């Protein structure tokens, strides 16, 4: 799993960003397709996972209190109740805050379905945010990378009829690069494969204006 970074543009250094931009330009040279790269820190807040970790910390605090603090067993019921309320509030708030600032703490409480839905929802938002559906021939392709979830989505526009298996191969190349801590190499490989597909299914016809930016878009 790729760790979150405050400045995700540093996840791919300047040289890597230049290589990716050049790969996009080269991939688009002989096709009417337009490739847009979006790299996101994450695709969702996952509040439920934060809350679950907060509840777990409440239990931990209670166990520690009962086992090591005589206050719980020796004090009056009123004081015990106050202590319990304090533990519930403190445990939940501290646990939720920890899960917010240390995202890895949320991972055990995230289901595959939730991650899939969040990543695909954010990819859909980016598709419209970056006007990928507004190209002249409806030939835009979004390559969306979500670092926290270690997930990649390739989303083509409506006129591109290519089997999902071929898009999955592009995703696998990019994910392999992430796993090997060489995101730039993985992205360049995925972009090259995407370019080959677009040459076959969206061959260049007439002029070839660069309708969408070739640079990486970072989302924090």
Query: According to the model, what pLDDT value does residue 194 have?
Result: 98
The DSSP code for 203 is B
The stretch 136-151 carries a mean pLDDT of 94
Whether residue 44 is predicted with pLDDT greater than 90 in this model: the reply is no
pTM of the model: 0.80
Q: Which domains does the chain have, with CATH numbers?
A: 8-44+111-218 (3.10.310.50), 47-108 (no CATH)
The stretch 11-40 carries a mean pLDDT of 96
Distance CA 45, CA 84 (A): 29
Query: At 82, is the secondary structure helix, strand, or coil?
Result: helix
Average pLDDT taken over every residue of the chain: 87
CB atoms within 10 A of CB 204: 14
Collect all residues with Cβ–Cβ distance below 8 Å to 39 and sequence separation of at least 6: 8, 11, 12, 145, 147, 183, 216, 217, 218, 219
Torsion of CA 69, 73, 79, 84, to 10 degrees: 70
Each residue of 60-76: pLDDT tens digit?
887 776 776 665 555 55
Task: With cut-offs at 50, 70 and 90, classify the pLDDT of residue 105.
Answer: confident
């Amino acid at each position: 799993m790729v760790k979150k970074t405050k400045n995700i543009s540093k996840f791919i250094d300047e040289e890597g960003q230049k290589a990716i931009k050049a790969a996009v330009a080269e991939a688009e040279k002989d096709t009417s397709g337009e490739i847009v790269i979006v790299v996101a820190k994450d695709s969702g807040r996952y509040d439920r996972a934060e809350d679950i970790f907060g509840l777990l910390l409440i239990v931990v605090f209670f166990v520690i209190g009962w086992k090591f603090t005589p206050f719980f067993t020796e004090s009056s019921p009123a004081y015990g109740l106050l202590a319990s309320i304090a533990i519930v509030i403190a445990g939940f708030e501290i646990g939720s805050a920890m899960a917010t600032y240390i995202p890895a703490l949320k991972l055990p409480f995230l289901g595959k379905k939730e991650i899939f839905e969040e990543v695909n929802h954010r990819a859909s938002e980016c598709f419209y945010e970056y006007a990928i559906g507004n190209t002249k021939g409806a030939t835009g392709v979004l390559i969306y990378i979500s670092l926290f979830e270690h997930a990649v989505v390739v989303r083509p526009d409506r006129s591109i009829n290519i089997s999902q298996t071929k898009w999955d191969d592009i995703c696998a190349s990019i994910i392999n690069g992430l796993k090997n801590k060489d995101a730039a190499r993985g992205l360049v490989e995925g972009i090259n494969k995407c370019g080959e597909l677009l040459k076959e299914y969206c061959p260049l016809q007439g002029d070839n204006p660069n309708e969408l930016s070739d640079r990486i878009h970072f989302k924090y």
